[in-house]
Structure 1
């Protein structure tokens, strides 16, 4: 599966790294939620490795969280669930855009198409992608361990009559950091010169795992960037052209 990544300087030393949404990929058809009993049966009845079983559990928890979030999103205005949804949006706004980008690199991605301004050095673009992948792997692994270590502490708050918001937030942070860590581990070999193997076929596969796409349109952005930063209206145009999440792209502009 191909993933199109758009890279361009957005303000000062801040660069934007964002994956284009696939317009042909519509929303998945709703399926009945999997029960805990089915999850246990699925894990115990097959000869999967521990990492494979861990992914199944993570997908199960992710599905439960997504369904719970969808319920909060549809809650009437002014209700307690609606207020919880607003709180969740404020918390999600604090998530760094680089984390969201790394989470978008799933395990089924086999090729990365890198769109960048034609005025940039291609080696610099690929070097920056490798850097964010290597740095993301280290950072999100530490944050994953930190989130997991906090889960037992926040679980004690379930005795309170109110929803245990801290527990579910820490659970989401653990899941999000795990996805970002896996995404960085997947991205790094895709944008590197080799897979770290002496097998010739592995080298041949990696030789086509990344494709550079210099863009004249993005090159025009550099003129604004040198004068202090890309304007919001220009960012809106870029996001519309490349199917990017504007809210996440704007975070790169304000991040340190």
Structure 2
């Protein structure tokens, strides 16, 4: 397995796991994973439909999925730590490489970055997993309505599975770190995608968070890594970070306007007093 660290901005990084050697662990998937695979195939069938309620569900669902934090998708890509996988990794039959661009993430910081990504959202996922379990019995009676799919219930089931996978993906990474099983693999090829005009990609000239990847570069990344599946992960991550930075700038502009208005009002009061 390979773990990829792909900085999206100077402060946010996409984690993506790719199972290089699936021959030894492909068949040990849990019942939950097999159910998720079945749901994915059914979803793909609905996406091919031109009209109908299935097409509408897919359209609205894809919009909702795009808003699920990319950090959660990254942790979900890391397989849960089964007994067989634990033994394979301990015995070196399934080595785990940590691939990263050293120009953006210095080698001595790589393990710290992946540790942060594995742990910083664990409490949030546990809390939201609990709320999904609370909501399932409430929405389950909607399934009694004939000819109407119980979308709220199935969405909560999916979100519960998603949070569960993210929690277990994070635990897997923590176990790898604790047992010193991560093999650092700095990538010069990735460096070439991040380095522009000799400028350090981790540099923030204005002291503000800066984007490091654009939508136009996504295919370059997938071609360099030979990972077509990473395209959708990068597209989602870039879209979310750009929106977040846009909101931050808007809030800062609004705060600046308020500050200016207060200062102008104070100056007006001072002039009135002097007159």
TM-score, normalised to structure 2, is 0.67
Compare 61-70 and 151-160 and name the one that shifted more.
61-70
Relative to 1, partners in 2 of residues 1:214 and 1:90: Cα closer, same or farther, differing over 3 Å? same
Q: CA deviation at 1:99?
A: 1.4
- 2:221 match: 238
- 1:88 match: 61
Distance 2:237 2:45 in 1: 30
Q: CA deviation at 1:70?
A: 4.1
RMSD: 2.9
Distance 1:171 1:95 in 2: 15
Determine which of 27, 34, 39 is the counterpart of 1:65.
39
Alpha carbons 1:150, 1:170 under 8 Å: kept: yes
Of structures 1 and 2, the larger Rg is shown by 2
Q: Any idea what the Cα deviations from partners look like across 1:146-187, whole Å, max 9, x if unmatched?
A: 111110111122233321111110110011111111111111
Q: Any idea what the Cα deviations from partners look like across 1:176-225, whole Å, max 9, x if unmatched?
A: 111111111111121x2x3xxxxxxxxxxx34x11111122222304374
Q: Any idea what the Cα deviations from partners look like across 1:17-45, whole Å, max 9, x if unmatched?
A: 222364988xx99xxxxxxxxxxxxxxxx
> Structure 1 segments of 4 or more deviating over 6 A?
none
Distance 1:218 1:165 in 2: 41
Q: Any idea what the Cα deviations from partners look like across 1:208-251, whole Å, max 9, x if unmatched?
A: x1111112222230437448432323232112221152121133
Alpha carbons 2:75, 2:165 under 8 Å: kept: yes
- 2:78 match: 105
Compare 153-162 and 217-226 and name the one that shifted more.
217-226
* 1:1-256 alignment, distance < 5 Å: 3-20=1-18, 22=20, 58-59=32-33, 61-63=35-37, 65-74=39-48, 76-106=49-79, 107=81, 108=85, 110=89, 111-119=95-103, 120-161=105-146, 162-190=148-176, 192=177, 194=178, 206-207=179-180, 209-220=181-192, 221-223=194-196, 225=201, 226=203, 228-229=210-211, 230-242=213-225, 243=227, 244-253=229-238, 254-255=240-241, 256=244
Specify every segment of 5 or more residues in structure 1 that has no aligned partner in the other structure, as ranges.
30-54, 195-205
Alpha carbons 1:144, 1:178 under 8 Å: kept: yes
What secondary structure does 1:218 align onto? helix
Specify every segment of 5 or more residues in structure 2 that has no aligned partner in the other structure, as ranges.
90-94, 205-209, 245-275
Relative to 1, partners in 2 of residues 1:123 and 1:143: Cα closer, same or farther, differing over 3 Å? farther
Relative to 1, partners in 2 of residues 1:122 and 1:19: Cα closer, same or farther, differing over 3 Å? same
Q: CA deviation at 1:138?
A: 2.2
